[in-house]
Structure 1
Amino acid sequence: MRLTTPRIHPVTAEKWTEEQREIVAPMQARGRIINIFRTMLTHPAAAKAFLTWGGYILSRKSTLPPREREIVILRTGFLCKSGYEWTQHVPIGQKAGLTDAEIARIKLGADAPGWSAADTSLLRAADDLHREYFVTEPVWAELTKHFNEQQRMDIVFAVGQYTQVSMLLNTFGVQLDEGQTLDPDLKGF
């Protein structure tokens, strides 16, 4: 975690406006409201737009299968040193079919042993986008062997979205939710 206290504090339920209550109503129906969303409530117009696009990335409307989506999201969160993002998406990745060993290898990247060619291309694409803001020709050619055109677009969309998410989490100082533990590899950033 980059900050040990929030720069922008989560809005507590007692202080929610009617607009803020409308934003979180669907989340409340599914369970608790996590700190990222309680922080985003500070800016309701941005929260609404953010939830629409983020909802697409995580939905079945995205053509990228959940396991592959989580590989690029976790790699992006790790590269951005976003402890909150990593912590939130490890269990999502597990539900999507990633093993604990694969999640640990995501930190090491595409050169870690054990990845399929398709997984390697996903990790290299996330690395390219993080480093160059561009998927290089060799990596694009490898992605083309495994993913159709819309899926390749959704890879870029997912990395872009979670780069933005990591930036806001890191900068706003969004803290882990109750009961969560920070991965030791992301301490001190």
Structure 2
Amino acid sequence: MSGEEGIGWARPARRVGPNLPWRWLPANTETLVPAAHHLTLILPWATLVMSAHATGLTRLPLCDWELVALRASFNSGGWSEWQNHVFFARLLRRGDAYLTGIVEGPGAPCWDERAAAVLSAVDELHDGSAISDTTRARLGRHLTDRQCDELRMVTGIYELIAMVFSTFAPPGELINFEPRTVRALTARHGARRPRPDKPLAPAAEPSPPRPKTLSVQPDTPPANAAERAWLPRDPTVLTALARNHRRLARLLVSAAKRGVRLRLSEADIELVVQRTVWRCGPVGEWRARAAVDPEVARVVGQGPDASGLEPRRAALMRAVDELDTEFFIGDVTWAALTAEFGYDVPRLLELCLLVGHYRAFAMLLAP
């Protein structure tokens, strides 16, 4: 997979830029690039994320939030958010040792037990969408259950942001806020990728008990394409979200019910979501979707390299795999999707958001 080096992470070559010359835009405004290509999708999604901050996703202390944001952005190559939070850390007068510790990880000597536990949890979620028993016990000495759930969601959100901006933003920013020592360290460390494939084995473990249905869940099966795309089929997912974040769960349901016009076909959406869930979990969501569409589940289980598979479907699954491991779509896959199969930028943006969306669900329901 080709990419640009020099900041600690591989990044795709410039593919999509703003309409204005980049030199006329302020620094770190690459967040506007994807929005300009799909306003009907980005604005509701951004509203949902910002509303979550204002209506309940606020129990995680700021010091922990910053650790999660910085480490998750570093792990996933989220250059834009990394720079923004480096700038914020410097405003808070965090020294070079703080940022160096973020790059070196939970084993850095500058961290106390609480910070090391938070960083270990972020790393484990990045590597396998789950937190080990040892790390959960360490977190339990410092965070409540609700704060631990928020840590999972915040990790997923920042890795989703990394996917979108790494795929669609121009490769160069005007301002680098890193101190020189940290800049040199990030270039030496490189990325923590690749993440391994994590295929599920639905028959290997019993189905979890179905929880009592909460009011945040739709009363009827998803009716429109947006609901079918963004709402999980397994009620366990929304129940877990609603357990401590009922308002956030309601926002998610209402946003899906309003219906954003999606450009990906329903068949493509189901293939992308099932492949993401097959790789990341949760198991209950995989079972629910495989039961509704077993033919797609069979294709997903075979993978993009299966013999006789339609090339377009293989390219879509390969894009999902690359987003999950590299956090951007590789050049070969990008070229195949755009030039050979005619996928435009808005549809590829939808693909990125779908993968990140269900990866965040997997982190929320991880052990």
Shorter-chain TM-score: what band?
0.7 to 0.9
Matched with 1:122 is 118
Give the Cα separation in 2 of the matches to 1:6 and 1:179.
18
Q: State the AA in 1 paired with 2:50.
A: G
Equivalence map 1:1-189=2 (5 Å): 2-3=10-11, 6-12=14-20, 34-56=29-51, 61=56, 62-96=58-92, 98-180=94-176, 183-184=183-184, 185-186=186-187
**C-alpha contact (below 8 Å) 1:63/1:151 kept by paired residues:** yes
Quick check: 1:40–1:47 contact (8 Å CA) kept in 2? yes
Give the letter aligned to residue 6 of structure 1: R
2:33–2:168 CA contact under 8 A, matched in 1: no
Unmatched 5+ residue regions in structure 1? Answer: 14-30
Amino acid at match of 1:170: S
- Contact map agreement 1:10 1:42 (CA 8 A) in 2: no
Matched with 2:201 is none
Instruction: After superposition, give the CA deviation of every residue in 1:152-187 in whole Å (9 maximum; x if it has no partner).
Output: 111111100011111112222443443336734248
**RMSD value, Cα:** 2.9
Q: 1:177 to 1:58 in 2, by over 3 A?
A: farther
RCO comparison, higher one (Cα < 8 Å, 6+): 1
Runs of 4 or more, structure 1, over 4 Å off, are 56-61, 186-189
| TM-score (norm. length: structure 2) | 0.42
User: What is the CA-CA distance between 1:146 and the residue it aligns to?
Assistant: 0.5
SS at match of 1:146: coil
Q: What amino acid sits opposite 2:175 in the alignment?
A: G
Return the alpha-carbon distance in structure 2 between the equivalents of residues 54 and 65 of structure 1. 18
Check the 8 A contact 1:2/1:173 in 2, yes or no: no
**TM-score, normalised to structure 1's length?**
0.76
Q: Distance in 2 between matches of 1:151 and 1:50?
A: 23
SS at match of 1:35: coil
Contact 1:85 1:169 survives alignment (8 Å):
no
Please identify, of 105-114 and 39-48, the stretch whose mean Cα deviation from structure 2 is larger: 39-48
Residue identity (%):
22
Instruction: Answer yes or no: is the 8 Å Cα contact 2:27–2:175 preserved in 1.
Output: no
Deviation at 1:35, TM superposition (A): 1.4
